[in-house]
Structure 1
Amino acid sequence: MILGELVEKYDIPGAQVAVLDNGDIHDDAAGVLSTRTRVETTTDSVFKVGSITKLWTATLVQQLVLEGALDLDRPVRSYLPDFRLKDREAADTITARHLLTHTSGIAPNHFTDTGGNIDAIEKFVATLADEEHLLPPGTLHSYSNTGFTVLGRLVEVLRDRHFHDVLRERLITPLGLKAIATDTYEAILHRTAIGHVKTTPTTKWAVSYKTTPSGSHLAMSAHELLTFVHHHLTDPTLAPLRDHQLDVPDFGGGVVAWGLGWMRYPGGIVGHTGVSKGQKAFLRVDPSANRAVAVLTNSTNGDPLAHDVFTAAGLDPTPIPLPPTNPEPVDDRMCGTYRNPLHDITLTRTSLTYQPRNELAASFRGTTPVEVVKLKDDAIITTGTHEVMSLIGSDEHGRAKYLHNGAAAYRIA
């Protein structure tokens, strides 16, 4: 099935696909950049790649390691003396490796707005001194956008340049990339995709400048993304970033382990996904075959299209999780209340309820209980949206210690 047919089948405004095969990149585009303007999607249009940006940030970090300017296992405070967290011991021990593998214990998101100026990342990291710390460093994988923003600040300090400038000087210009934008000011110079909630255009293109290193602004074509991937596959000094660092709990995306920035899938496949303001991006790479596929969509509905493309390209797709045919109630050991910085999450044998801990959290989720069933011995799945969560660890009473959906929440009752 050609891309245009897939866009129509899944009611997605627009998409790009690129395939890297032994150094050659083949790309295609279909649909429109916005359902409002109806501008045609072309192969040189730019789509937001969301958290795939983290691979670019990890690459900038690895360059510093190779130059001897950074040791991944030295505390971040060795390089950022002003780095502060509410948990002083954590601030003293967190390393760049913790940040790259999402094991720092820093909360997933920190919502203080530090403006749109070039110093927003510096100001943002300074606000973390009052942020509740989730877990002791090294305890558990817990996805953290904030942690990657700290890495971005580390890059700024060690390069004595702003993050956007380092991106362009160290990666974009040397790789000869053209269809790429590092911020909204550059995006307007391109044929730029607008995000959609299903088929309704979003009202904002990007979130705060402060989170650029974790995925708020970077946009590019699928072809340029695979040019970056080809650089990784042909430069042996970047291969260690793909090496296994730790296994991770099942949170429904098919990810089984983590490298230094890279997600690891079964069969030696690596990659990442990205979500940003109504756009979804998907990347899968088979290093052993020198093959990669990138799928960029401007809709929250992008997952099934990406699944079909990965299947057609010969890469094992991530299975879409579904509730069991004969579901069972949640085990008693899983039930209880778990806390993260935004919510207290109560799990019963049949439902999951989010209780917001502040006004900001109240704007993200409702408090209506969501039906859940047991997926397997250590995981549950919501029956409506098919969101997977793992229940891991064991306390002195034999109960699960953490609820994990990519980020962790710890048991309080």
Structure 2
Amino acid sequence: MNDNDFRTVEAQLREQSAAYCAANHVPGFVAGVFHAGRQAVVAHGTANVVTGAPMREDTGFLIGSVTKVLTTTLVLQQVDRGVLDLDAPVVSYLPEFALNVPGAADKILVRHLISHTNGIDADLYFPDAKGRDALKAYVAGLADSCGVLFEPGEQLSYSNGGMIVAGRLLEVVTGLSFPELLQRDLYGPVGMKDSSTSAEQAILRGTAIGHFPDPETMEARPTGLFTLPDTWGPAGGTPIGTVADLLAFGRTHLAGGVSPSGARVLSAASVALMQQVSYDMRTPNVPPMGMGWVRYPFGDVTVLAMSGASPGGVSLLCVVPEHDLVFAAYGNTPGAIMLHDQLLQWLLREHLGVPIPRLVTEMRQDVDLTPYAGTYRSDQLRIDVSIVDGQLEERTTYEPADGAQERIFTAFAGGAVSAPPQRYVPIRPGLFAPAGYPLEAFDGYLRLLLVSYHDIREGRARFRNGGGRLTRRV
């Protein structure tokens, strides 16, 4: 690749970002690409509509669930050092770990925490604790508040709870708080020089805030919540970084665990283990899971990825080992995920020449819908599925356990506790697409919009999977 080719990449990022932000009420966006030794970062718009501060190439932002790959890396570092065993029960290191189903926690292994196969039903559990004992308080609360969705290793469900328990496990075996460990063992060695772990640190430098579209005007309004509670740190509640920092982390995984500065951060074996398939549900809407990384197939090329929602913002980190490429981006409204997807697909198709086959080629009219109708539940979430006019109609409602949970969730979601009814049309038995979307919408990252149903018993599905998360029929 020559300099002209890379200047074309930089220009495309800049032009496409500016056009999308202007057309879709996104105040600000920042993105970067590393490819074959060259790196570029571009920024557009406003980081905060209240202050008018510009989005700059070095503006910080909440990285959200991208943190899960960092947490997994920290766990594998302790495996490298002989401190942790992936096949040991979590309770052998963390005896206070329990769920409200007797004996359920005893079956969960360390590897289940970071491969999203643990079955902990705590996806929307938001205890509001601060400071050094926040993760300890989270784990203590699980015993009374949260149960299980499935037996460990039986299914795959995106797990905030698993990552938070992993963060507490790290604190116990290292003697450091999760923020201290993140700073010492990742930010420093990787060279993430502008990253931080709290709002108090972030305020000392330029940091973006999130925004939500006004329901009437669609204009962006600022979030009323900057970060989630400290209890959610290891799952993505509090870490803050820049695009350059995320590119450095991605490059470390490209280079077999060696950071851009030459520091050995993780063994090559552990880097490879994170990239291997840990569980595959064999459905297009749930890509195979590694450890930390989600393995998105784009034709014959695998993109290791993780996106990160924060209150009113969304980030994305992608690593493409076969092409020596890292892509990172952040937009300060939730709808910016559409731009992330467009840029990623442009990089694959136009820059790398990767053919991306159509994931969904047709809809079906002859699918029996009766196995899927019913009510599905997970922690504080209810999804009612009915048959209406030959389609599935879903009504999703958040049912908070208490006032604190409601306050945190509604602020995180921009004020809503329920979603408008959504119709779904069948692609094939057990797989559905939201009505009204063009088929090509699902070729890329937004395949997560598809919904699947699993484990049909006596003519009824036991599980629904949307966005990688399971709910269980009740």
Q: TM-score, normalised by structure 1?
A: 0.91
Kept in 1: contact 2:126–2:231 (CA 8 A): no
| AA in 2 matched with 1:302 | A
User: What letter is aligned with 1:264?
Assistant: R
Contact 2:294 2:305 in 1 (8 A): yes
What do residues 146-193 of structure 1 show as CA deviations (whole Å, max 9, x unaligned)? 110000001111110000000000011122222212111111011101
Q: State whether residues 330 and 373 of structure 1, in contact with CA within 8 Å, keep that contact through their aligned partners in structure 2.
A: no
Distance in 2 between the 1:49 and 1:318 partners? 27
* Secondary structure of the structure 1 residue equivalent to 2:47: coil
| CA–CA separation in structure 2 for the residues paired with 1:213 and 1:147 | 9
Correspondence for 1:219: 240
Q: Which residue does 2:163 correspond to in 1?
A: 148
C-alpha contact (below 8 Å) 2:227/2:237 kept by paired residues: yes
CA-based RMSD of the aligned residues comes to 2.6
Counterparts of 1:8-407 in structure 2 under 5 Å? 8-130=22-144, 131-198=146-213, 199-234=220-255, 235=257, 236-237=268-269, 238-248=271-281, 250=283, 252=285, 255-266=286-297, 267-314=301-348, 331-350=369-388, 351-354=393-396, 358=400, 365-366=417-418, 369-383=421-435, 387-395=449-457, 397-405=458-466, 406-407=468-469
My pick for the range that moved more, 307-316 or 54-63, is 307-316
Check the 8 A contact 1:15/1:31 in 2, yes or no: yes
In 1, are the aligned partners of 2:250 and 2:317 still within 8 Å (CA)?
no
- Counterparts of 2:51 and 2:74 in 1: how far apart (Å)? 36
Deviates more, 1:121-130 or 1:230-239: 230-239
Question: Following the alignment from structure 2 to structure 1, what is the Cα–Cα distance between the partners of residues 306 and 126?
Answer: 26
For each residue in 1:327-374, what CA deviation from the matched residue of structure 2 results, as whole angstroms up to 9, or x when unmatched? 677611222222222234332223223466555588653386433322
Aligned-pair distance for 1:305? Answer: 1.3
Q: C-alpha displacement at 1:309, in angstroms?
A: 1.3
Closer, same or farther: CA 343–298 of 1 in aligned 2, 3 Å = closer
The answer as to whether partners of 2:31 and 2:328 remain within 8 angstroms in 1 is yes
Opposite residue 274 of structure 2, the aligned amino acid is: L
SS of 2:44 mapped into structure 1: strand
Distance 1:35 1:375, change over 3 A: farther
* Maintained 8 Å contact 2:112/2:118: yes
Residue 88 and residue 325 in structure 1: after superposition, are their counterparts in 2 closer, same or farther (change >3 A)? Answer: closer
Q: Cα–Cα, structure 1 residues 193 and 370, in superposed 2: closer, same or farther, change >3 Å? A: same
Q: Secondary structure at the match of 1:365?
A: coil
Distance 1:9 1:112, change over 3 A: closer
Query: CA 1:275–1:355 in 2, change beyond 3 Å: closer, same or farther?
Result: closer
Structure 2 SS opposite 1:257: coil
Q: Verify the 8 A CA contact 1:196 1:299 in the aligned structure 2.
A: yes
Amino acid in structure 1 at the alignment position of 2:460:
R
SS of residue in 2 equivalent to 1:301: helix
Question: Residue 345 of structure 1 aligns to which amino acid in structure 2?
Answer: I
2:192/2:246 contact within 8 Å kept:
no
Cα deviation digits, residues 247-277 of structure 1 (max 9, x gap): 136584xx52000110001122111111010
Q: CA deviation at 1:210?
A: 0.6
Structure 1 Cα separation of the partners of residues 419 and 331 of structure 2: 30
Provide closer, same or farther for how the CA distance between residues 347 and 249 of structure 1 changes in structure 2, counting only shifts above 3 A: farther
1:382 CA displacement: 3.5
Deviates more, 1:308-317 or 1:202-211: 308-317
CA distance in 1, matches of 2:157, 2:90: 18
1:110-167 Cα shifts (integer Å, max 9, x gaps): 5352422221111111111112222221121111111100000011111100000000
Partner SS state of residue 371, structure 1: strand
Residue range with higher mean Cα deviation, 65-74 or 16-25? 16-25
Structure 2: how far apart are the matches of 1:100 and 1:318? 29
User: Where in structure 1 are there 5+ consecutive unaligned residues?
Assistant: none
Distance 1:201 1:357, change over 3 A: closer
Distance 2:205 2:365 in 1: 49
| Cα gap change, 1:112 to 1:312, in 2 (>3 Å) | closer
* Number of residues of Structure 1 aligned to a counterpart in Structure 2: 409
Code of the aligned partner of 1:353: R
Read off the aligned partner of 1:80 and give its amino acid letter. Answer: L
Deviates more, 1:43-52 or 1:398-407: 398-407
Alignment TM-score, normalising by the size of structure 2: 0.80
CA contact (8 A) 1:163 1:213 kept: yes
CA shift at 1:324, angstroms? 6.5
Change (3 A) 1:358 1:174: closer
Q: Is the 8 A contact 1:391 1:404 kept in 2?
A: yes
Structure 2 Cα separation of the partners of residues 101 and 36 of structure 1: 39
Relative to structure 1, is the Cα distance of residues 180 and 380 closer, same or farther in structure 2, using a 3 angstrom cutoff? Answer: same
CA distance in 1, matches of 2:150, 2:121: 8
TM-superposition CA deviations, 1:73-132 (whole Å, max 9, x none): 110011111111112322111011111111111014253524222211111111111122
